[in-house]
Amino acid sequence: MSGFVAGMVPAAGRTRRAVHHTAFHRTYAVVLTPKGTSVATRKPFVGGNWKMNTNRTTGSDLARAVSDGLVNLDGLDAAVFPPFPYLLTIRSILRDRGASIRLGSQDVYHQQDGAFTGEVSIAMLKDCGVQSVLVGHSERRHVMGEKDELINKKLRALLDAGLEAVLCVGETQEEREAGHQEIVNARQVRTALAEIPAPYTDRLIVAYEPVWAIGTGMTATPQDAQEMHAMIRGLLARLYSQASADRVRIIYGGSVKPDNAAELFSQTDIDGGLIGGASLKSADFVAICKAAAETAGAKP
């Protein structure tokens, strides 16, 4: 491709221009390279997945401490994903403190209402102020037995309802040892996105979370993670367009800690993280968020 994108003024080196995306109030910059190809620089996203941890008191304390720790931090979208029973409590705390932290849900059911004992609908989540929802987390896939087909239904319903969805994919240790990581992740992404139209990808975040790295203290090397993120972005470009793929945030999850976050997040295609264990310690979660904001500012 040659020549600059219409409406943008070429300059020596690179030119940045903020683009306000009305569909989800997301801001990203378009960077024009000297050759004129455009590359989106994505605002990092860091989510804290509290899993089945905390109670009303400890969750409230955590939300307060995270809000206070992130109070002046720009250049980052942060979210917390508390257990269902505490959503309203955590929403009040975030609102009272004027925090711009998104309220997230760890799961959802795709049906509108009816006889689905134990499940929670999109309308119920919206009613509780939820803005972002995890889909296909490895514990849903491997402990609860969720299949790609169900994950696709949930993802379609969420994006259709205008919510932000964090689609989690990742290979098991066995699959990596067999060298099948690319096939597995590509299959998970492809089947989850079946029949999802291109404009919906503006509300999509993909979390690459190798199953063997979740909660184990074993982190993918930044190079291995980058390789998988680049593969996923390439697949998104083939499924949709390069422009769509350049806008989707692809975040990494799996034993991210304050001491390994910056190196992971400084990789070209790693746009933040999904944090489990470390999100339960406010100081660690805040440090990881800061690492995401700082490394994004320093990316070429």
Quote the CA–CA distance of 3 and 10 in Å, as a whole number: 9
Residue number, 32 or 256, with CB nearest to ligand PEP: 256
The stretches of the chain forming alpha helices (DSSP H) are 56-69, 87-96, 122-127, 138-142, 148-160, 173-177, 181-192, 222-239, 242-247, 258-265, 282-298
Separation of alpha carbons 34 and 287, rounded Å: 35
Please give the helix or strand (H or E) that residue 165 lies within, else none. strand 164-169
| CA distance linking residue 276 with residue 78, whole number of Å | 14
User: Which residue lies nearer to ligand PEP by CB, 30 or 165?
Assistant: 165
Examine the residue annotation and report whether 209 is marked as an active-site residue of this protein: yes
**Which x/- pattern over 270-299 shows residues binding ligand PEP (rule: CB under 6 A)?**
----xxxxx---------------------
Lay out the site mask for ligand PEP across 190-209 (x = CB under 6 A, - = otherwise). -------------------x
Nearby residues of 172 by Cβ (< 8 Å), 6 or more positions away: 142, 184, 211, 212
Interacting residues with ligand PEP between 50 and 69 (CB under 6 A)? 51
Among 108, 193, 214, 248, binds ligand PEP (CB under 6 A): 214
Q: Please, which residue, 63 or 288, has the CB nearer to ligand PEP?
A: 288
Q: Is 11 helix (H, G, I), strand (E, B) or coil?
A: coil
Catalytic member of 110, 137, 175, 229: 137
| Cβ at position 210, least distance to ligand PEP in Å | 9
- Of the listed 110, 146, 209, 229, which one is catalytic? 209
Whether 137 is catalytic is: yes
Give the whole-angstrom CA distance, residue 10 versus residue 37. Answer: 11
Nearer to ligand PEP, 131 or 260 (CB): 260
User: Per CB under 6 A, which of residues 244..263 are in contact with ligand PEP?
Assistant: 253-256
Residues lying near ligand PEP in the complex (CB under 6 A) are found at 49, 51, 209, 214-215, 253-256, 274-278
